[in-house]
């Protein structure tokens, strides 16, 4: 292996050691964001919309892991550059490490929790120390590093520094880089999992009793048929789709919610201010626009919070106000028509879900919940700012990236039972699932076997018109393979479109179909 390659390897290892130590330092400090995640967040902010859309559709929640891997790949490329610069002039490499560390710090400063110099020093010092040690060892093998050790102006092709035991030094160098690389992997993993980068915990919060409560959940079909989606989605199973690479960690004592823009009175609320208001419970289903036909990027919770319309009324929208824009602490934005917030639907500034404070991954300390709209225009998590503006005065995060500006949820149904590919023994097959058209409500669900007629099924009582509805029916099947399709009709009489249409730009369309085999 020529020394040019060894110099590149030294740079890569030094880079990853610096990143690992910085991750370990940031993780142990808990309140400090990961420099690697902060850099990834900048990549997301700058990436073209088509790339982000494809990543979400193809990878789903795994897109964060892929982005992390991509960030590490970019770091590796920078490491190659670092090693080769060091082989030519070590002082220049020192400057490059400082520049990368400063860039990482600058990226972290865009997070709601600013990185501290400790992380910068950990990244730079460990990177410099590792690169210096490897560079000194590499110099004994001759080549570019040896020439630099002899002096930048030494004779070209000089043999200065070539050791008689070069083969032994080469093996030592490779063992050292392997050990450092493994140590970096372990340290980085420790920092991200053992310490602060596992999903952050919510501070101790005592939720007040709501001024308006809902009755206990009864008649859940999932109790009889466990394969069917329950009326309320457990918090741990609730989907998460957002543009945040690292979970924002917000101190509720410092957090403020500001309402401003085209209003008569600008308002500001603390977390305690919200908890001291008359809180109400709302059962509502929210959905991601990236949800495919038959997909699971949908969830229903019993939300607790302040009615959005109350705070907007207190602020007093002016005659020019047409759009409500929610801003997250991490800079994400979503906007929807003001009339949606004031048309009677139970839109909330939520502080809890399913009787627990909002988990960090779902928006602690507060988030917007607007039934009937896809999350990309309405469901601002880690909410810190609400601005009223004109409709043309602002486009939310996803609109310039190719998604529709208005995002009403489309009527949809999903077959939960049987699963596609199931082999069954009974020709009288129970078919069950959920359907949704939040705010509009579901009037009917129908199923069809193969190319037969559409047959209505039983609808169970929904928790509210803002939630999905469970349904069940039976299908008589002969021996062999069959397809079962389902479609819904909303309370306005609109039949679910046959499609197919992809999620972009305003939601998927199509009838969910499963294939079963009767033995």
Does residue 422 share a domain with residue 283? Answer: no
Does residue 179 share a domain with residue 291? Answer: no
Q: Is residue 397 part of a domain?
A: no
Does residue 435 share a domain with residue 350? Answer: no
268: domain CATH number?
3.90.420.10
Contacts of 62 (CB under 8 A, 6+ apart): none
SS (H, E, C) 409-475: CCCEEEEEECCCCCEECCCEEEEEEEEECCCCCEEEEEEEECCCCCEECEECCCCCCCCCEEEEEEE
At 35 the pLDDT is 65
Strand-strand pairing, 348-353 and 367-369: antiparallel
Q: b/e string for 105-120 if b means 16 or more Cβ within 10 A?
A: bebbeebbbebbeebb
Does residue 369 share a domain with residue 421? Answer: no
Does residue 294 share a domain with residue 146? Answer: no
At 475 the pLDDT is 94
Q: Is residue 205 part of a domain?
A: no
End-to-end Cα separation, the chain, in angstroms: 62
Contacts of 16 (CB under 8 A, 6+ apart): 72, 75, 76, 79, 181, 184, 185, 188
CA-CA distance, 219 to 225, in Å (whole number)?
Answer: 12
Q: Is residue 151 part of a domain?
A: yes
Q: Cα 518 to the chain's mean position, in Å? A: 40
Q: Is residue 232 part of a domain?
A: yes
Does residue 426 share a domain with residue 287? Answer: no
Helix (H, G, I), strand (E, B) or coil at 318: coil
Q: Is residue 351 part of a domain?
A: yes
Q: Is residue 296 part of a domain?
A: yes
> What are the angstrom distances between the C-alpha of 214 and each of 282, 299, 349, 463?
8, 18, 17, 9
Asked if residue 131 lies in contact with residue 93, where contact means CB atoms within 8 angstroms, the answer is yes
Give the range of the structural domain holding residue 460, as residue numbers without chain letter.
Answer: 412-518
At 114 the pLDDT is 43
For residue 512, what are its two tokens? Answer: 């969910």
Q: Phi first, then psi: give them for residue 437, nearest 5 degrees.
A: -155, 70
CA-CA distance, 58 to 65, in Å (whole number)?
Answer: 13
Q: b/e string for 281-292 if b means 16 or more Cβ within 10 A?
A: bbbbbbbbbbbe
At 228 the pLDDT is 97
CA-CA distance, 313 to 388, in Å (whole number)?
Answer: 12
| pTM across the whole model | 0.76
Does residue 385 share a domain with residue 284? Answer: yes
Q: Is residue 208 part of a domain?
A: no
507: domain CATH number?
2.60.40.650
Q: How many CA atoms lie within 13 A of 179 on its CB side?
A: 8
Does residue 138 share a domain with residue 30? Answer: yes
Contacts of 375 (CB under 8 A, 6+ apart): 241, 286, 287, 288, 289, 334
Does residue 46 share a domain with residue 134? Answer: yes
Tell me the angle at which helices 166-193 and 3-29 cross, rounded to the nearest 10 degrees: 20
At 381 the pLDDT is 97
Taking 50 as the pLDDT cut, the residues of the chain under it are 1-2, 111-117, 143-164, 195-199
Does residue 245 share a domain with residue 154? Answer: no
Q: Is residue 455 part of a domain?
A: yes
Q: What is the tally of structural domains in the chain?
A: 3
Does residue 145 share a domain with residue 272? Answer: no
Does residue 457 share a domain with residue 360? Answer: no
């Amino acid at each position: 292996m020529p020394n040019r390659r060894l110099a590149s390897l030294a740079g890569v290892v030094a880079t990853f050691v610096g990143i690992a130590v910085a991750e370990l330092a940031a993780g142990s400090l808990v309140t400090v964001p990961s420099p690697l995640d902060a850099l990834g967040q900048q990549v997301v902010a700058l990436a073209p919309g088509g790339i982000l859309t494809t990543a979400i559709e193809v990878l789903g929640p795994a897109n964060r892991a892929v982005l992390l891997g991509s960030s590490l790949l970019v770091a590796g490329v920078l490491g190659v550059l670092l090693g080769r610069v060091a082989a030519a002039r070590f002082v220049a490499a020192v400057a490059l490490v400082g520049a990368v560390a400063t860039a990482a710090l600058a990226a972290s400063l865009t997070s709601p929790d600013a990185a501290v110099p400790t992380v910068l020093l950990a990244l730079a010092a460990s990177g410099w120390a590792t690169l210096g040690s490897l560079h000194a060892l590499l110099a004994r093998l001759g080549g570019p590093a040896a020439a630099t050790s002899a002096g930048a102006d030494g004779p070209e092709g000089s043999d200065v520094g070539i050791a008689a035991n070069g083969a032994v030094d080469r093996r030592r160098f490779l063992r050292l880089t392997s050990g450092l690389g493994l140590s970096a992997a372990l340290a980085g993993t420790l920092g991200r999992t053992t310490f602060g980068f596992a999903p952050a915990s919510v501070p101790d919060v005592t939720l007040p009793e709501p001024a308006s409560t809902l009755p206990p959940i009864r008649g859940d079909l999932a109790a009889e048929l466990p394969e069917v989606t329950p009326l309320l989605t457990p918090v741990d199973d609730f989907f998460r789709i957002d543009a945040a690479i690292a979970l924002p960690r917000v101190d509720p004592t410092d957090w403020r919610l500001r309402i401003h823009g085209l209003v008569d009175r600008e308002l500001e609320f603390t977390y305690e201010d919200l908890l001291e208001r008359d809180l109400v419970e709302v059962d509502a289903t929210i959905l991601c626009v990236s949800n495919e036909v038959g997909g699971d990027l949908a969830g229903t919770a019993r939300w607790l919070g302040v009615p959005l319309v109350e705070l907007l009324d207190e602020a007093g929208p002016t005659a020019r106000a047409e759009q409500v824009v929610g801003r997250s602490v991490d800079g994400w934005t979503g906007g929807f028509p003001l009339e949606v917030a004031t048309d009677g639907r139970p839109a909330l500034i939520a502080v809890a879900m399913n009787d627990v404070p909002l988990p960090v991954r779902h928006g602690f300390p507060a988030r917007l919940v607007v039934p009937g709209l896809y999350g990309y225009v309405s469901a601002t998590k880690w909410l810190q700012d609400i601005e009223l503006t004109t409709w043309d005065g602002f486009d939310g995060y996803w609109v310039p990236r190719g998604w529709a500006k208005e995002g009403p949820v489309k009527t949809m149904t999903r077959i939960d039972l049987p699963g596609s590919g199931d082999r069954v023994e009974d020709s009288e097959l129970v078919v069950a699932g959920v359907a949704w058209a939040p705010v509009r409500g579901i009037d009917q669900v129908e199923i069809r076997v193969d190319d037969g007629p559409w047959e209505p099924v039983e609808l169970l009582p929904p928790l509210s018109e803002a939630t999905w509805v469970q349904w069940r029916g039976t299908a008589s099947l002969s021996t062999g393979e069959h397809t079962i399709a389902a479609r819904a009709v909303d309370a306005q009489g609109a039949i679910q479109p046959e499609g197919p249409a992809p999620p972009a730009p305003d939601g998927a369309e199509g009838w969910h179909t499963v294939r079963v085999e009767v033995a």
